Amino acid sequence: MNIRLAKAEDVVGMQQANLVNLPENYHIRLWIYHIITWPQLSYVAEDPKGRIIGYVLAKIDEESEDKTADIHGHINSISVMRSYRRLGLAKKLMLLSQDAMASIYKAKYVSLHVRETNKAALGLYRDTLGFKVADTEKEYYADGENAYMMRFNFENES
């Protein structure tokens, strides 16, 4: 399996993987916006035929009104097609994106939201990558489930 930076022409394949793997889906414009605005942060995994079998979509968070707040990255979405799971692809996708956040954008930390019941993703973030739960956001998801807001500091990384 090959992992490489995502390009604008990958957005259809990324969106299809997202539709299959997650209930949180986004308009195609958002996928393109992310890849054009932060071209070093989103990656895809492809099979030997070039089909997209995993992706990470990420950004630098610019929503904070507090201009003194630390610049930070945010993982919007990550998924890997079922038959390619537990091969280390998500870990690689995350680390590539995190490395670019820290080295290119000088981000101080990376954040993300995850469902409280998402055991696989929690295993990836907490146990493998060292994220910590920073907060719980009640009824964050459309179906009423709570989200953990998780965070990983880059202070020792760059």
Q: Which residues bind ligand ACO (CB under 6 A)?
A: 21-22, 75, 77-80, 85-91, 112-114, 118-121, 123-124, 127-128
Cβ closest to ligand ACO, residue 67 vs residue 146: 146
Nearest distance from residue 120's CB to ligand ACO, in Å? 3
**Cβ 122 to ligand ACO shortest distance, Å:** 7
The CA distance from 158 to 78, in Å, is: 23
Angle at 137 between CA 80 and CA 42, to 5 degrees: 30
Alpha-helical (H) ranges within the chain are 11-21, 28-37, 89-103, 119-122
- Which CB sits closer to ligand ACO, 21 or 154? 21
Q: Please, what is the minimum distance in Å from the beta carbon of residue 74 to ligand ACO?
A: 9
Other C-beta atoms lying within 10 Å of the C-beta of residue 51: 13
Question: Which residue number is nearest to ligand ACO in terms of Cβ?
Answer: 123
Q: Which of 97, 155, 157, 94 is nearest to 120 (CA)?
A: 94
Nearer to ligand ACO, 102 or 110 (CB): 110
- Minimum gap (Å) between residue 89 Cβ and ligand ACO: 4
How are strands ordered across the β-sheet holding 147-153?
A: 2-5, 43-46, 52-60, 72-80, 109-115, 147-153, 132-137
When the beta carbons of 41 and 68 are compared against ligand ACO, the nearer one is 41
